[in-house]
Amino acid sequence: MTPRLPIKLDTTSNGEFAPVPLAAPALHARELARDAIEDAARRIGLDRRRYLIGALGAAATLGAFNRAFAAAGKTGGRYALAPEAPFELAAAQAAVGGDEFIFDVQLHHVNPKGAWRQKAGPEAFKGMPNSRCGQQDHIECFSSGALLKDVFLDSDTAMGVLSHVPGGLDTNPLDFEAAGATREAANALDGTERLLLHGRCMPTLPGELEGMEAQAARYKLSAFKTYTQFGPRDGAAGFFLDDDRHGTPFIERARKLGVRNIAVHKGLAFGARGYEYSSARDIGPAARRHPDMNFLIYHSGFDTAVKEGPYDARAQAGADVLVRSMLEAGSPRNVYAELGSTWRFVMRDPDQAAHLLGKLLKTFGEDHVLWGTDSIWYGSPQDQIQAFRAFEISREFQEKYGYPALTPAIKRKVFGLNAARVYGLAPQDMRKKLAKDGVQKKKAEYMNDPRPSFATYGPRDRAEFLAFRRWQGEMP
């Protein structure tokens, strides 16, 4: 088995897009990182695993990435760290450590006992990377317990939002009941709230709009989540948020129920059917029409088939469509761009990463970009956190394209302060509560002997991706 890296560059998908092979620079980066880790661990007298689980391993990995990408001429972004960071803990911590309030607005897990298993059959998830984690029921490898370990023990994440994947009530691997139970499990002690909860609605399915009320009555919902490119095979292939048949009634019902946040998946198209509805062209008009609602744009319209570069007003897919929609609508201030899967994907190409982050910050402003990781599919989000802490946009790209510098202050906002404002939280108050709750006590014990796996969960190749799609019977 190929040795795992603490900062992962691989082909893993969240199941909503086909895995994309790594380009030569990323493959070279992984090779250099493995060599750098072996060399550094030997030089300072640590075994490989001990070296990997701390900041030193992350620093050595990012340093190797820098060398590989620079050799390929990709210098629009880089990971800022001192040359001694792979060998000296203080230098490593300065690059990849931090004390930010990290609030991950996109988390997922699978309900092992959900109704979806009746249709999915015994082979569901069996080919996924983490299905051999040692549990008697392999679906437990993707359960709430796995999520809580990966997110709250093996990463610096303080809070999160448990979101939903597309599907009807009987085909959704994370049904609403299980999401509520996980939230209660995470809110372990002292009345703190580690996890917020989304409601779900697929307006193209019968009864979904009417079902919103029951969800809001049972739990305090932080948002309603929807997928505009979702539709049953025998019905509409999707919808737009600004249409009067599905989009507007959905938004107005959320408002009536007192839920002012609309979380909408844009980009990462599932396939050809419904592809047009993955476009973010409707975001500006919908936001302008509903100024009292907030629109949280999951994945920021990113499309893996589009190579992100400087803004192109003629683009038909990718983040540029979201940017254009905002500009044409007069840049409404009730829209937020979210980074789940998006940041994780562009980590493989620092030029794309710099363009994507630069465009979002330039268009939305530093107060309107949200941190999300789409974990559990990528395992622990710690590597995404460490990479974002160290990443910087080159001065050349700043001057040429008008992108802002990625300052520590901006990163703090993206990591959690912006989402805290959207969800009505006071970070300092939450810090005090979280510092003494049961999860924190468990983490303090765990850190005496941490055991991160550096594993990923989602499909890694086309065969795994197609199998994953078959288990979700109503997926387009």
Report percent pLDDT > 70 for the chain. 90
Report residue 156 as tokens: 């610096």
The rounded distance, in Å, linking the Cα atoms of 293 and 216 is: 17
pLDDT for the residue numbered 168? 53
pLDDT in tens, 46-97: 999 899 999 999 999 999 999 999 999 999 999 999 999 999 999 999 999 9
Whether residue 184 has pLDDT greater than 60? no
Query: How many CB atoms lie under 10 A from the CB of residue 222?
Result: 26
- Greatest Cα pair distance, the chain, in angstroms, is 65
pLDDT in tens, 104-120: 999 987 777 666 666 66
- Residues in a beta bridge with 392: 78
Domains of the chain: 103-434 (3.20.20.140)
Query: How many CB atoms lie under 10 A from the CB of residue 47?
Result: 9
Buried b (16+ CB within 10 A) or exposed e, 239-266: bbbbbeebbbebbebbeebebbbbbbbb
- What count of Cα atoms within 13 Å lies in the side-chain half-sphere of residue 70? 11
The rounded distance, in Å, linking the Cα atoms of 357 and 373 is: 15
436 class by beta-carbon count within 10 Å (0-12 exposed, 13-18 middle, 19+ buried)? exposed
Whether residue 176 has pLDDT greater than 60? no
Instruction: Indicate the helix (H) or strand (E) that contains 351.
Output: helix 350-364
At residue 138's C-alpha, the angle toward residues 136 and 142, to 5°, is: 125
Secondary structure of residue 133 in the 3-state scheme: coil
Closest CA to 66 of 28, 40, 94, 10: 28
The rounded distance, in Å, linking the Cα atoms of 259 and 39 is: 53
Rounded to two decimals, what is the model's pTM?
0.94
pLDDT in tens, 300-325: 999 999 999 999 999 999 999 999 99
Report percent pLDDT > 90 for the chain. 69
pLDDT for the residue numbered 189? 32
pLDDT in tens, 376-434: 889 999 999 999 999 999 999 999 999 999 999 999 999 999 999 999 999 999 999 88
More confident residue, 324 or 185: 324
